[in-house]
Structure 1
Amino acid sequence: MARPRSFLGLISGTSADGIDAALVDFDGDGAGARPALRFARTYAWDPALRERLVALGQQDAHLTLDEVGELDVAIGQAFADAALSALADASMEAAGVAAIGSHGQTLRHRPHGALPFSLQLGCAATIAERTGITTVAGFRARDVAAGGHGAPLVPALHAALLHERGESRAVLNLGGIANFTLLPASGPVRGFDTGPANGLMDAWCLRHRGEAYDRGGAFAASGQVDEALLARLLDEAWFALPPPKSTGRDQFHLGWVEARLAGGESPADVQATLLALTARSVADALRATQPDTARVIACGGGVHNAALMAALAAGLPQMTVESSAAHGLDPDAIEAMAFAWLARETLAGRPGNLASVTGAGGPRILGAIHPA
Structure 2
Amino acid sequence: MMSGTSMDGVDAVAAVFTNGRYQFIGRSSESYSTHLRSSLISLCSSGPDEVLRCQECGNEVAKIYAKVFNKLLEGTGLETSNICAIGAHGQTIRHSPQMGASTQLINGALLAELTKTDVVTDFRSRDLAAGGEGAPLVPLFHKCVFSGSVPRGILNIGGISNLTYLPALGSDADVFGFDCGPGNVLMDGWTEKINGTPYDHDGMWARSGKVSEKLLALLKKEAFFDLTPPKSTGRELFNLGWLESKLSDESVEDVQRTLVALTAGTITEAIERFAPDIQELFVCGGGAKNSLLMQELTAMNPARAVKTTAALGMDAQDVEGAAFAWLAKRFVERQPGNLPSVTGAEGGRILGALYPA
Contact in 2 for aligned 1:143/1:150 (Cα 8 Å): yes
Aligned residue among 323, 331, 336 for 2:321? 336
Partner of 1:3: none
Q: Deviation string for 1:117-175 (max 9, x for gaps)?
A: 0100011101100000000000000000000011001111111111113x111010011
Contact in 1 for aligned 2:93/2:104 (Cα 8 Å): yes
Contact in 1 for aligned 2:28/2:68 (Cα 8 Å): no
Q: Is 1:135 paired with 2:122?
A: no
What's the CA shift for 1:94?
0.9
Q: Between 103-112 and 208-217, report the one with greater CA deviation.
A: 208-217
What's the CA shift for 1:60?
4.5
Q: Is 1:294 paired with 2:279?
A: yes
Partner of 2:5: 14
Q: May I ask how many residue pairs the two structures share in their alignment?
A: 354
What's the CA shift for 1:62?
5.0
Per the alignment, in what secondary structure is the counterpart of residue 84 of structure 2? strand
Aligned residue among 52, 63, 67 for 1:81? 67
Partner of 1:118: 102
Q: Is 1:245 paired with 2:231?
A: yes
Aligned residue among 175, 178, 182 for 2:158? 175
Contact in 1 for aligned 2:43/2:54 (Cα 8 Å): no
What value does the CA root-mean-square deviation take over the aligned residues? Answer: 1.1
Can you give the 5+ residue segments of structure 1 that lack an aligned partner in the other structure?
A: 1-9
Q: Is 1:220 paired with 2:201?
A: no
Q: Equivalent residues in 2 for 1:180-195 (5 A)?
A: 180-185=163-168, 186=171, 187-195=173-181
Partner AA of 1:293 in structure 2: I
Partner of 2:138: 154
Can you give the 5+ residue segments of structure 2 that lack an aligned partner in the other structure?
A: none
Partner AA of 2:5 in structure 1: T
What's the CA shift for 1:110?
0.2
Partner of 2:81: 95
Q: Between 65-74 and 284-293, report the one with greater CA deviation.
A: 65-74
Partner of 2:43: 56
What's the CA shift for 1:63?
4.0
Partner of 2:29: 42
Partner AA of 2:23 in structure 1: A
Q: 1: distance between equivalents of 2:200 and 2:282?
A: 22
TM-score, with length taken from structure 1: 0.93
Partner AA of 1:130 in structure 2: L
Partner of 1:265: 250
Q: 2: distance between equivalents of 1:66 and 1:322?
A: 44
Q: Is 1:282 paired with 2:267?
A: yes
Partner AA of 1:364 in structure 2: R
Per the alignment, in what secondary structure is the counterpart of residue 12 of structure 1? coil
Q: 2: distance between equivalents of 1:366 and 1:278?
A: 30
Contact in 2 for aligned 1:80/1:126 (Cα 8 Å): no
Q: Is 1:354 paired with 2:339?
A: yes
TM-score, with length taken from structure 2: 0.97
Partner AA of 2:166 in structure 1: L
Q: 1: distance between equivalents of 2:48 and 2:222?
A: 25
Partner AA of 1:118 in structure 2: S
Q: Deviation string for 1:231-259 (max 9, x for gaps)?
A: 11000001000000000112100000001
What's the CA shift for 1:64?
2.9
Contact in 1 for aligned 2:43/2:50 (Cα 8 Å): no
Partner of 2:311: 326
Structure 1 pair 69/251, CA: closer, same or farther in 2 (3 Å)? same
What's the CA shift for 1:26?
2.2
Q: Deviation string for 1:257-298 (max 9, x for gaps)?
A: 001111x32111000011100001000000001111110011
Q: Between 77-86 and 98-107, report the one with greater CA deviation.
A: 77-86
Contact in 1 for aligned 2:20/2:145 (Cα 8 Å): no
Partner AA of 1:275 in structure 2: V
Partner AA of 2:280 in structure 1: R
Partner of 2:187: 201
Partner AA of 1:73 in structure 2: N
What's the CA shift for 1:76?
1.4
Q: Deviation string for 1:166-222 (max 9, x for gaps)?
A: x11101001110000001222110000000011110111111122111111111111
Q: 2: distance between equivalents of 1:69 and 1:283?
A: 39
Contact in 2 for aligned 1:25/1:36 (Cα 8 Å): yes
Q: 2: distance between equivalents of 1:89 and 1:62?
A: 41
Per the alignment, in what secondary structure is the counterpart of residue 104 of structure 2? strand
